[in-house]
Amino acid sequence: MGNKIRARHLMMKAGVSVVPGTKDAVDDVDEAKVFAENIGYPVIIKASAGGGGIGMKVAHCREELVTTFGSTRQMAGSAFGDSSVFIEKYLEEPRHIEIQILADSYGNTIYLSDRECSIQRRHQKLIEEAPSPIMTSELRAQMGETAVKVAKAIGYVNAGTVEFLYSRGDFYFLEVNTRLQVEHGITEMVTGIDIVREQLRIAWGERVDFMQEDICINGHAIECRINAEDPLNDFAPSPGKIRGYRSAGGPGVRVDSGVHTGYTISPYYDSLISKLCVWERTRDLAIARMERALYEYVVVGVKTNIPFHKAVMRNPDFRSGNITTAFIEDHNILEFVEDIVKSEAEKGDTLASAIEAKDKKVAAITAAVYAYVSMAQKMQR
């Protein structure tokens, strides 16, 4: 399934809907222009061997297609050793929704939960939540059963994720991630199932020891990927040494991280600092808990995307669940990020001083006070 063109062929053969696109690799820009004009712009050019949002570019017209076609092939060859690309119709107002599955070697395949992954930059996920705000029991069953169908069609054995694009009532197969996803933790939080444990049990040759009807969704979970990057500079990486570090905590808060004060963020690898996850009984309460956790989270020495996450959590459309993969651009989120960065400059100086003084108690109290005051002020507006 690592080859997206081959994966599309397998899904079409299995009767699974895929996004309208070319059946095979497109090697010539003239061929690309003919296809794009027949199906209609916008279109998206994808590297067949791509992943992680790399090797994907949208073209809204012929001129953009001519420009991006060659550069996408070049990027694909450089990043993946395979320059082949294909073209798909770029769907209107798409949402990125994925289904977590478990499949053992005895033919047992179940789906755990859905995840909404539409908040992205450069086709790379930044915020995920489980379940999706638009999910109903009927839609979850349809997408879940399709995910199981996909897994069985390829004889899949492992924990994995089947990804879909959802647009205006229809959903289309996107790809299979044949591994544990970064965002698996929020599915664990709403299902109570340790996916890492189940993956190891499957690899050991054991059976999945529960049935589909045993899976229950409890509450709502959100993950913010805390990255060392500058959202006001096109999310450019911000490598360097972390001079002070204070992560969020408390009931319903989970932080998966490997960094600490004195840790150096390398310019050569992914800029992920941590995965900040929260759980609550409802989506509204989960958003409120995430806002509090973000206000407690302090990283000194490198720029982070924490202000971006704060801006998203405050956005009325996000809070109402009205999101697509173009959310950042459509809502001018970066303008609000700039306002947050300016308004919190004083807070940042205070917390940085507390942390750099190596007084953890003072830092914790300072962060909590700022979080409480900020939330109280917002409630009064």
Active-site residue list: 179
Q: Are 317 and 331 spatial neighbours (Cβ–Cβ below 8 Å)? A: yes
Q: % helix / strand / coil in the chain, to the nearest 5?
A: 40, 30, 30
Q: Are 213 and 141 spatial neighbours (Cβ–Cβ below 8 Å)? A: no
Preceding peptide of 94 cis, ω within 30°: no
What does the alpha-carbon distance between residue 266 and residue 72 come to, in Å, rounded to a whole number? 26
Burial 63-85, CB ≥16 within 10 A → b, else e: ebbeebbeebbebbbebbebbbb
List helix spans (H) across the chain.
Answer: 4-14, 29-39, 62-80, 137-153, 184-191, 195-203, 283-296, 306-314, 316-319, 327-330, 333-343, 345-356, 360-380
Q: What DSSP state is assigned to residue 26?
A: -
- The tokens for 381 are 């507006």
What does the alpha-carbon distance between residue 219 and residue 215 come to, in Å, rounded to a whole number? 13
Give the amino acid at 131: P
Query: Which residue is it, tokens 């970064």?
Result: 182
- The tokens for 106 are 């005895």
- The tokens for 8 are 């599309």
Question: Which long-range CB contacts under 8 A does 359-365 form with residues at least 24 apart?
Answer: 360/246, 363/244, 363/246, 363/298, 364/246
What does the alpha-carbon distance between residue 1 and residue 162 come to, in Å, rounded to a whole number? 11
